[in-house]
């Protein structure tokens, strides 16, 4: 009986058709309905060459996997992790009419001149999700430090670039805050050519108010649905992380106040400085409560040297960082070092 079945199969198989793959899958995408196309033959998974690969072929893959409509034919090399070197390219020149139920029913050829640089990809609508996925993280890539660079978001352990469409200074503020950097000073909507990304562009039309704690909290357009190119990748620059210290005292919780800006430590002028500002400094340093020293005690550490970075600082006392308080622009003041602030904390 088995021999008869084999004979019938041999007679009915037309030229241009191979032994049927026993399975198909999409690897490395945001969900199971997107990624690099892989097929299984004789218990081994391999890739599909993109020679002749088109939207009709993708439609068959989407149907076989129980996904939604075919939405694109991305290159398979966009998806990570990449195919392993020992993994074979199993089929090429796939030709579907678009009405087949499985990829195995389409015409295809054995591979004769295809490498993993030509792996096929497929993108289908994901029927299991009616909303955009939430990014797991954000970073600024290819810049001089982690506070400057090309905006990238992470999902399922892969990094993707962000299109400039809909981007604003408000969104840049959120990114800088999320990364623990200083204030947003530049949102250059187009990257310089040397900083173009190479990964898929999955996010666009960001709509941030600027008050969100993370970029994940901002509404955005659907992931992967845009018409952007990498010359539209978004570049953001933040000030270096804000830091402060108390110097000249017996411990880390008392002394002349200095703040770090652009890699340089400088002092703070005492114009309008008072107990609320002391409270914020002590809180930020983890030094307990302010002891509100007398004017004479504030001057016991002597004047500083170098830059005077801040003047006319005004805090409500509720801020978690001195950076959140109002102040004049960095470096603008009408003070001398005789007016440098000193702070005494209980800790």
pLDDT at 160 over 80: yes
Is 90 among the domain residues? yes
**Does one domain contain both 268 and 207?**
no
Helix/strand/coil (H, E, C) string of the chain? Answer: CHHHHHHHHHHHCCCCCCCCCCEEEEEECCCCCEEEEEEEECCEEEEEECCCCCHHHHHHHHHHCCCCCEEECCEHHHCCCCCCCCCCEEEEEEECCCCCCCHHHCEEEECCCCCHHHEEEEEECCCCCCCCCCCCEEEEECCCCCCEEEEEEEECCEEEEEECCCCCHHHHHHHHHHCCCCCEEEEECCCCHHHCCCCCEEECCCCCCCCCCCHHHCCCCCCCCCCCCHHHECEEEECCCCEEEEEECCCCCEEEEEEEECCEEEEEECCCCCHHHHHHHHHHHCCCCECCCCHHHHCCCCCCCCCEEECCCECCCCCCCHHHCECCCCCCCCCCHHHECEEEECC
Report in angstroms the alpha-carbon separations of 159 from 78, 172, 290, 300.
11, 18, 44, 52
pLDDT at 200 over 90: no
User: Looking at residues 75-96, what average pLDDT do you find?
Assistant: 87
Domain boundary among 183, 214, 237: 237
**Does one domain contain both 295 and 211?**
no
User: Looking at residues 284-312, what average pLDDT do you find?
Assistant: 80
pLDDT tens digits for 167-191?
888 889 989 988 888 888 877 655 5
Domain boundary among 123, 150, 177: 123
pLDDT of residue 8: 37
Ranking 152-156, 221-225, 297-301 by mean pLDDT, the lowest is 221-225
User: Looking at residues 1-29, what average pLDDT do you find?
Assistant: 51
pLDDT at 266 over 90: yes
Is 131 among the domain residues? no
Percentage, residues of the chain above pLDDT 90? 25
**Does one domain contain both 227 and 247?**
no
**Does one domain contain both 166 and 220?**
yes
User: Looking at residues 299-304, what average pLDDT do you find?
Assistant: 72
User: Looking at residues 310-338, what average pLDDT do you find?
Assistant: 88
pLDDT tens digits for 75-85?
998 887 788 88
pLDDT of residue 292: 72
Domains: count for the chain? 3
**Does one domain contain both 49 and 29?**
yes
Is 178 among the domain residues? yes
Report in angstroms the alpha-carbon separations of 276 from 198, 256, 268, 295, 326.
48, 17, 15, 15, 12
**Does one domain contain both 26 and 117?**
yes
Domain boundary among 174, 202, 237: 237
Percentage, residues of the chain above pLDDT 70? 81
Closest by CA position to 220, among listed 149, 270, 164 = 164
**Does one domain contain both 36 and 116?**
yes
**Does one domain contain both 140 and 233?**
yes
**Does one domain contain both 191 and 251?**
no
**Does one domain contain both 112 and 39?**
yes
Is 192 among the domain residues? yes
Is 177 among the domain residues? yes
List the CATH number of the domain containing 288.
Answer: 3.10.250.10
Is 3 among the domain residues? no
Question: What is the average pLDDT value for the chain, to the nearest integer?
Answer: 80
Q: Tell me which residue range forms the domain holding 158.
A: 136-237
pLDDT at 145 over 50: yes
Is 7 among the domain residues? no
Burial readout 304-328 (b: 16 or more C-beta within 10 A, e: otherwise): beebbbbbebebeeebeebbebebe
pLDDT of residue 17: 38
pLDDT at 34 over 90: no
**Does one domain contain both 146 and 203?**
yes
What token pair was written down for 93?
Answer: 């020149």
pLDDT tens digits for 211-236?
787 887 777 766 555 567 777 888 89
Whole-angstrom distance between the N-terminal and C-terminal Cα of the chain? 88
**Does one domain contain both 119 and 34?**
yes
Is 11 among the domain residues? no
112-116, 252-256, 292-296 — most confident range = 252-256
pLDDT of residue 38: 92
pLDDT of residue 16: 39
């Amino acid at each position: 009986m088995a021999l008869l079945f084999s004979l019938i199969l041999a007679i009915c198989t037309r030229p241009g058709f191979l032994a049927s793959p026993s399975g198909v899958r999409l690897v490395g995408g945001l969900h199971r309905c997107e990624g690099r196309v892989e097929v299984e033959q004789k218990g081994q998974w391999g890739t599909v060459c993109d020679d002749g690969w088109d939207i009709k072929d993708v439609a068959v893959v989407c149907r076989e996997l129980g996904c939604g409509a075919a939405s694109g034919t991305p290159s398979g090399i966009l998806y990570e992790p990449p195919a392993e070197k020992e993994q074979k390219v199993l089929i090429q020149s796939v030709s579907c009419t678009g009405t087949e139920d499985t990829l195995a029913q389409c015409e295809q050829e054995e591979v004769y001149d295809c490498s993993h640089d030509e792996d096929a990809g497929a993108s289908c609508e994901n029927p299991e999700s009616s909303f955009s996925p939430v990014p797991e993280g954000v970073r600024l890539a290819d810049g001089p430090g982690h506070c400057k660079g090309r905006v990238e978001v992470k999902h399922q352990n892969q990094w993707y670039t962000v299109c400039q469409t809909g981007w604003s200074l408000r969104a840049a503020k959120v990114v800088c805050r999320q990364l623990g950097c200083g204030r947003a000073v530049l949102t250059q909507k187009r990257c310089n050519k040397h900083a173009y990304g190479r990964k898929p562009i999955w996010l666009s039309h960001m709509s941030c108010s600027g008050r969100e704690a993370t970029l994940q909290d901002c509404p955005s357009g659907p992931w992967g649905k845009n018409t952007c190119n990498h010359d539209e990748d978004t570049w953001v620059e933040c000030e270096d992380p804000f830091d402060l210290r108390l110097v000249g005292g017996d411990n880390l919780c008392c002394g002349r106040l200095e703040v770090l800006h652009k890699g340089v430590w400088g002092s703070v002028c005492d114009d309008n400085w008072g107990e609320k500002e002391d409270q914020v400094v002590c809180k930020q340093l983890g030094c307990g409560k302010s002891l509100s020293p007398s004017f004479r005690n504030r001057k016991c550490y002597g004047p500083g040297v170098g830059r005077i970075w801040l003047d006319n600082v005004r805090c409500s006392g509720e801020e978690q960082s001195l950076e959140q308080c109002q102040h004049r622009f960095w470096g603008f003041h009408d003070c001398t070092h005789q007016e440098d602030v000193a702070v005494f904390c209980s800790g």
